[in-house]
């Protein structure tokens, strides 16, 4: 897969690599409020198959809310979120009553297509690594126990933890627990994986093993959206790097963004995290 560095944006104002294929995730005019406070002021973003999109920016800028809107953990106030060609969200302003049939996907179907990995690993402490991965295969995918266990083992192998399959979360390091959480998301064969600061809760010496697994996934062609402060990692995998501040996309680019940010807010942020 060729990188499309420097390709012109297909649409002005849309964060995209410029790939013209149908995006796996297409966000248009996404607005989100909590109470009276609007925290996303209209986000436009395309994520194409095999692309690795990095979201970065100050705390509170809305990165998590964008990710959570992609799998409807947050319901957009307006705008459209399209995953794998199916429309979710309330639609764009003016779209209602336009005569277009309101054909919208169901959240449960969406969540099967979108794997999510959080800062906190959210593993069940009373289940082994294998059981943690196998459980949603049975409950969400409706697989039989044997098939679920086989699939779970395969996913644990992918993150290098097959030999820890029978361990409980309490017997694993934070890095290993996060790798189990990655295996759990991966086992659903998602169209896209979302990572929300997956290494932020880890002791520094455990960050590398998680980034290595994510790097392997990226190399294998997984479509990924990653919120991270690990800008070295972002530089390695980011096909499209998106700097957010105060609920808007301020600046986007390939890795050259990290060397030559043009917006002062992005420059300030980069100075602060270095
Ligand atoms: P980031 O991930 O970039 O740190 P968030 O998306 O978590 O930012 O938050 C964006 C803004 O929305 C912040 O001001 C945050 O306080 C606010 N916010 C996020 N979730 C909620 C919520 N459930 N209720 C109220 N405010 C929220
Ligand atoms: Mg966040």
Q: Which two tokens stand for residue 2?
A: 């060729």
How far does the centroid of ligand 1 lie from the alpha carbon of residue 103, in Å? 29
pLDDT exceeds cutoff 80 at 12: no
Ligand 1 neighbourhood includes 158 CB (under 6 angstroms): no
Q: Which two tokens stand for residue 122?
A: 């959210």
Higher-confidence residue of 63 and 101: namely 63
Q: Distance between the two ends of the chain, CA-based, in angstroms?
A: 31
Cβ burial of 146 (10 Å; 0-12, 13-18, 19+) is: exposed
Ligand 1 neighbourhood includes 60 CB (under 6 angstroms): yes
Ligand 1 neighbourhood includes 124 CB (under 6 angstroms): no
pLDDT at 103: 63
Minimum CA distance residue for ligand 1 atom 25: 34
pLDDT at 92: 64
111 falls in which pLDDT band (50, 70, 90)?
A: confident
> Which parts of 65-177 are beta strand (E)?
78-83, 86-91, 114-117
pLDDT exceeds cutoff 60 at 264: yes
95 falls in which pLDDT band (50, 70, 90)?
A: low
pLDDT at 93: 61
Single pTM value for the model: 0.92
How far does the centroid of ligand 2 lie from the alpha carbon of residue 119, in Å? 9
How far does the centroid of ligand 2 lie from the alpha carbon of residue 40, in Å? 13
How far does the centroid of ligand 2 lie from the alpha carbon of residue 151, in Å? 31
pLDDT at 153: 98
């Amino acid at each position: 897969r060729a990188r499309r560095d420097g390709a012109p944006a297909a649409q002005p104002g849309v964060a995209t690599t410029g790939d013209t294929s149908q995006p796996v995730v297409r966000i248009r005019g996404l607005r989100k409020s909590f109470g009276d406070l609007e925290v996303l002021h209209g986000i436009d973003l395309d994520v194409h198959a095999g692309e690795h999109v990095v979201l970065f920016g100050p705390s509170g800028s809305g990165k998590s809310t964008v990710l959570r809107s992609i799998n409807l953990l947050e319901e957009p106030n307006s705008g459209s979120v399209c995953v794998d060609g199916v429309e979710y969200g309330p639609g764009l302003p003016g779209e209602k009553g336009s005569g277009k049939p309101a054909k919208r996907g169901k959240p449960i179907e969406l969540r099967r297509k979108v794997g999510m990995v959080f800062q906190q690993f959210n593993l069940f402490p009373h289940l082994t690594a294998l059981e943690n991965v196998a459980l949603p295969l049975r409950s969400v995918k409706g697989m039989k126990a044997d098939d679920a266990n086989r699939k779970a083992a395969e996913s644990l192998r992918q993150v290098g933890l097959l030999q820890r399959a029978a361990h409980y979360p309490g017997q694993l390091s934070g890095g290993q627990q996060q790798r189990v959480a990655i295996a759990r998301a991966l086992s659903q064969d998602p169209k896209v994986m979302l990572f929300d600061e997956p290494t932020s809760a880890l002791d520094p010496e455990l960050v590398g093993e998680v980034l290595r697994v994510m790097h392997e996934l990226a190399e294998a062609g997984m479509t990924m959206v990653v919120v991270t402060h690990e800008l070295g990692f972002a530089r390695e995998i980011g096909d499209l790097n998106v700097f957010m501040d105060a609920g808007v996309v301020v600046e986007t680019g390939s890795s050259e963004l990290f060397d030559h940010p043009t917006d002062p807010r992005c420059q300030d942020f980069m100075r602060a995290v270095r």
